[in-house]
Amino acid sequence: MNPPRHLFDKVWDAHAVGTLANGQTQLLIGTHLIHEVTSPQAFGMLDDLRLAVRMPHRTFATVDHIVPTDRRSEPFADPLADAMIKALRANCERHGITYFDLASGLQGIVHMVGPEQGITQPGTTIACGDSHTSTHGAFGAVAFGIGTSQVRDVLASQTIAMTKPKVRRIEVDGALGPGVYAKDVILHIIRTLGVHGGIGYAYEYAGAVFDRMSMEERMTVCNMSIEGGARCGYVNPDDTTFAYLEGRPYAPAGAAWDEAVARWRATASDPGCAYDDIVAIDATDIAPTVTWGINPGQAVFIDERVPHPDEVPASERAAVEEALAHMKLVGGQPIAGTPVEVAFLGSCTNARLSDFREVAAVLRGRRVAPGVRAIAVPGSTLVKEACEREGIDRVLVEAGFEWRAAGCSMCLAMNPDKLQGDELCASSSNRNFKGRQGSAAGRTVLMSPVMVAAAAVTGAVADARAVFGAQGA
Amino acid sequence: MALQPIRHVRGRGVVVPGDDIDTDRIVPARYLRAITFDGLGAVLFQDARFDDHGRPLGHPLDRPERRGATVMLSGGNFGCGSSREHAPQSIVRAGFRAVVAGSFAEIFFANATTLGLVCLALGPEELVALTAAVAADPAGELAIDVGDAAVTFAGRRYPGTIPATARDALLRGRFDPLAELLTNDAAVAATAARLPYLAEAGA
């Protein structure tokens, strides 16, 4: 009888090709996702070395970061962006890589496309030149972001050199209160463990709260693992996972489906397995959470005050002062009531169908406050179309949101969607770094989509439970 | 891909203060609109160094006495956030050969090491002391000994850590792993053949 193992060890061991001279593991990457920003240089390196793509059939591409979300016809107005999409298209064609292009009807943020197509599967290893690759861990995959040299390594060898991380199990038990979402859970975890707390760890999210979550909610949680320093975060696969995958284009079918489900079930962590660390969090402690600073760990509950520099340990004072200065907030003031100029619904964290359904449910019959610029950017073309079939787009447009085409958009503002000057943005995205949303002085307050809706209609950071009643829970 | 071993880094230092310096700060996303890494050295910490009109903001990197510095010093969790290799590419292309910090975000660390940018982590006390010493003596030279995972400045040795795997790779000149990865292709094929999702796909 083998000792009980967690999912991470099982997947790692099954994909370990061998040990390299420096002691790192050569890890097989079963699924490689690529996009236009971090792959062109890697293809260039491949050309320089006269190397082919090792497994083109296990490499999947889409275009997301630089895509305009209003007028998508080519050539793009930005010649740099236009060169990037052309380079990706040419590289995929030349190497025989499946590419979900703008015209395919399947384009979207790379971390949306993998799950939608059923490419993202339990028990697999997934790498992508994008830190939010941790999203795919929601399916019980070992998935992590890599740099461009490693994209080259995966293209050329289907493997990377990696040091095995430790595994921390984060148990969230109990029940979430009304109006508390997956986004609040992960923001609370990051606030509790710190933005550096996950360095050297993979996170296993476990407990009743994650068991009950939909796949879309699990993706929101796993997506932000990297904001807590963990390169990889996962949820053990279960019936919810299998129900999501069944019938998707790249999912196994027929007899192969049953075999796959049996295999996937066996991939989940064994009862009684050992972890390097275990953290327990009570779900009832979690309230709607928003950031006040310049990293995702600088967060408070909506009814809390922004920290005062005098109240924090001396070692954190300079960081708090820097964050308050950038955010133009006064230490000790309530975060609720902070005026908002932009509302952004989008990103690989929160731009799925369920996010837009929740927002539409609270926005019906309401209007975005005067002076607030509000944009809604579905994470994928399939999400956009599903929203349009359900009339969600009309609810949002009638409320005063602009309804856009799929892409990363104002999460990182590589396309024309940007903050201006020191605008403050209520954002459903994942990073509130200085300058992240396209203006050096721009300010970002991270929150759940329903909280973005509350900020949009009131013109200020607000408790959605009070604005809309405790619906949507 | 035979690379020169990296055993030592010597040079003047520049302190970029603060914990959690993210890669958006190191290279803002608008400079990622390119299909090469060319020119990234010129935009290192662009928005912290220059205002919207290109006027310098007095960032440490722009002080005359810091010109030609090859060692960057910073706080904990350096390089957090986006996986963009543009960040260490920019640091290297701006002339730096090492970063000494409280700790490193993992993806940044892997990217930097592959480029031969030495990442040395110091404990909090050593980091505070070294940072103060370097800030007070801009002309002084730091000497990093990779094998020893330590930095010496003004006669004082500051012991730190470099993970054994990275240290070994730097000392042997094997920090770019691709050549070694490619030599094991038969084992790659065998591993793939044992995995149903890859075997079925005809790997």
pLDDT tens, position by position, A204-247: 999 999 999 999 999 999 999 999 999 999 999 999 999 999 99
Q: What is the pLDDT of residue A1?
A: 67
Mean pLDDT of chain B: 95
Q: What is the pLDDT of residue B199?
A: 83
Q: Which residues of B touch A51 (CB under 8 A)?
A: 182
Residue A381 has pLDDT above 80, yes or no: yes
Least CB-CB distance to B169: which of A22, A149, A295? A22
Residue contact B181–A161, C-beta within 8 A: yes
Report the SS3 class of residue A100: strand
Residue contact B25–A41, C-beta within 8 A: no
Whether residue A75 has a cis bond before it, omega within 30° of 0: yes
Q: Which residues of A touch B88 (CB under 8 A)?
A: 147
Q: Which residues contact A161 (CB under 8 A, 6 or more apart)?
A: A20, A22, A24, A25, A26, A27, A153, B177, B180, B181
Q: What is the pLDDT of residue B154?
A: 97
Give the pLDDT band (50/70/90) at residue A470: low
Min distance A372 CA to chain B CA atoms (Å) = 24
A57 in contact with B, Cβ within 8 Å:
yes
Domains of chain A: 7-164 (3.30.499.10), 166-238+270-285 (3.40.1060.10), 289-468 (3.30.499.10)
Residue A472 has pLDDT above 50, yes or no: no
Return the structure tokens found at B108. 């940044």
CB contact at 8 A, A251 and A119: no
Nearest alpha-carbon partner for A223 in A357, A63, A346, A100: A346
| Per-residue model confidence as pLDDT tens digits over A206-218 | 999 999 999 999 9
Torsion sign across C-alpha atoms A217, A219, A224, A228: positive
Q: Which residues of B touch A195 (CB under 8 A)?
A: 20, 77, 80
Q: Which residues of A touch B25 (CB under 8 A)?
A: 433-435
Q: Which of residues 74-133 of B touch A (CB under 8 A)?
A: 76-77, 80-85, 88, 103-107, 110-111, 114-115, 124
Q: What is the pLDDT of residue B114?
A: 97
Residue contact A145–B107, C-beta within 8 A: yes
Give the pLDDT band (50/70/90) at residue B200: low
B156 and B91 belong to one structural domain: yes
Q: What is the pLDDT of residue A27?
A: 98
B187 and B125 belong to one structural domain: no
B47 and B126 belong to one structural domain: yes
B20 and B84 belong to one structural domain: yes
Q: Which residues of A touch B114 (CB under 8 A)?
A: 147, 149-150
B115 and B152 belong to one structural domain: yes
Nearest alpha-carbon partner for A262 in A282, A239, A291, A292: A239
Residue B116 has pLDDT above 60, yes or no: yes
φ, ψ of residue B34 in degrees (nearest 5): -165, 160
Q: What is the pLDDT of residue A473?
A: 41
B165 and B188 belong to one structural domain: no
Residue B1 has pLDDT above 80, yes or no: no
Residue A401 has pLDDT above 60, yes or no: yes
Q: Averaged over B88-105, what is the pLDDT?
A: 98
| Per-residue model confidence as pLDDT tens digits over A144-184 | 999 999 999 999 999 999 999 999 999 999 999 999 999 99
> How far is the CA of A403 from the CAs of A51, A365, B49, B154, in angstroms?
43, 17, 36, 60
Residue contact B83–A229, C-beta within 8 A: no
Residue B78 maps to a domain: yes
DSSP run (H or E) holding A184: helix A182-193
Q: What is the phi-psi region of residue A229: left when phi exceeds 0, alpha when psi lies from -120 to 50, beta otherwise?
A: left
Residue B124 maps to a domain: yes
* CATH code of the domain in which B158 resides: 3.20.19.10
| Per-residue model confidence as pLDDT tens digits over A98-123 | 999 999 999 999 999 999 999 999 99
Asked if the ipTM is above 0.85, the reply is: yes
φ, ψ of residue A53 in degrees (nearest 5): -80, 125
Give the pLDDT band (50/70/90) at residue B95: very high
Buried b (16+ CB within 10 A) or exposed e, A248-282: bebbbeeeeeeebbebbbebbbeeebebeeeeebe
B32 and B129 belong to one structural domain: yes
Residue contact A319–B201, C-beta within 8 A: no
Q: Which residues of A touch B18 (CB under 8 A)?
A: 318-319, 322
Nearest chain A residue to B191 by CA: give it: A17
Return the structure tokens found at A197. 């707390």
B121 and B186 belong to one structural domain: no
B111 and B154 belong to one structural domain: yes
Residue B51 maps to a domain: yes
| Per-residue model confidence as pLDDT tens digits over B121-161 | 999 999 999 999 999 999 999 999 999 999 999 999 999 99
B88 and B188 belong to one structural domain: no
Domain hosting residue B102, numbered range = 8-172
Least CB-CB distance to A28: which of B77, B115, B188? B188
Residue contact B83–A129, C-beta within 8 A: yes
Q: What is the pLDDT of residue B201?
A: 54
| Per-residue model confidence as pLDDT tens digits over B161-190 | 999 999 999 999 999 999 999 999 999 999
Q: Averaged over A9-30, what is the pLDDT?
A: 98
B66 and B163 belong to one structural domain: yes
Return the structure tokens found at A97. 């890589």
Count: domains in chain B: 2
Residue B191 maps to a domain: yes
Q: What is the pLDDT of residue A2?
A: 81
| Per-residue model confidence as pLDDT tens digits over A257-312 | 999 999 999 999 999 999 999 999 999 999 999 999 999 999 999 999 999 999 99
Q: State the Cα–Cα distance between residues A185 and A301, nearest whole angstrom.
A: 11
B102 and B16 belong to one structural domain: yes
